[in-house]
Structure 1
Amino acid sequence: MRLKEFLEGPHDPYQYKAIFFAGSPGAGKTYVARKLAGVFQGLKQVNMDIIFKHLMTKQNLSWKMPPEEEPEREKQRQRSKELVAKQQQSYTDSGLGLLIDSTGRILGTVRRIKDELEDKGYKTTMIFVNTDLETALRRNRERERTLPDKLIHQNYDVIEQRLGEYQRMFNDVHLINNSDSAQEQLPEQLEQVEKNIRKFLQ
């Protein structure tokens, strides 16, 4: 069973609840999501990366992100944004619970979506998966979709700066340190976040 299917499940019990799931490339969000899959089950997943990956594969575009493919890649990125916006609209029109997965790099986009959801009666919270730069670089090199080290540096710096903004924007930001050096403490962190999210979803 695919992660998306498992997360969404056959029922939609969490009406008007939305969890933003953010973190820099290489933070290990997919791994954390799998560990928290039990608490996420029943939420509708909104993830532009899933759609973008499908379109990239369909167009036979390389995950090495070569410069000569940038025009077509950006075309597919824009298409992904349009499709995910329509998907989210269909979910929110019915008040379905959401798991909104993104890097969280663009502060204005997160703020806009949060405000739109709350205007519709949603309660919102955020899980932020953090890591140190060295760990992010190592994981990026091991991924199928590898980004240039320079881009990882740039995104990391921006997203780290965003964390303070998100802590002011949301009543609660559930922070998970998924650095290599923090793996011993990770199970305890995950247990606490799961407990907090279950309480939020009640």
Structure 2
Amino acid sequence: MNVLLSVAFVICWSSGFIGAKLGAGSADAVTILMWRFLPLALVLGAFAVVRARAAWRGLTARDLLRQCVIGALSQSGYLLTVYYAIQLGVSSGTTALIDGTQPLVAGALAGPLLRQYVSGRQWLGLCLGVAGVLVVTSADAAAARGVPLWAYAVPFLGMLSLVAATFLESRARRTVAPSVAMTIHCGTSAA
């Protein structure tokens, strides 16, 4: 069952940019995301009631609140900005590229926030990666007609939201079962 849930997660997550591009012309970003998360939250909720009840035992209100915040940041905050940027006219490829800098930003912030320091060689790689994103994004912004420049900051904000969720999760004292975390994240995002 875990393999099926993992495959479903990968399909749902990786189809996001395609769904955003297809849906941006016909519906608002919030509506698209509601229809993305509501069925998934219902399926995960049913699974939680029928098969994963034991995984919910022992969760405190603090655990639940932390997972709600992580879900709001990692799914709602991240995906809403991705869909909104595409709705504004930023190409899905550029949006994906900007959001793909998440590991670069997380690596740069790992030292100050987690005391996991980056070597000089790693900093060089991080800077080259950011420079590449800036070159491609600048070229896309120059070629785009009718897309406001501030629209390119929208996926960057989403990427920062995902970074914040990553650090919040890494600082948790207690590990929550993935099936429970995903149910809470999707329920929060659906709401």
Pick the TM interval, shorter chain: 0.3 to 0.5
Query: Larger helix proportion, structure 1 or 2?
Result: 2
Query: If the length of structure 1 is used for normalisation, what is the TM-score?
Result: 0.32
Query: If the length of structure 2 is used for normalisation, what is the TM-score?
Result: 0.33
Higher relative contact order (CA 8 A, sep 6+): 2
Query: Larger strand proportion, structure 1 or 2?
Result: 1
Computing the radius of gyration over CA atoms, which structure comes out larger, 1 or 2?
2
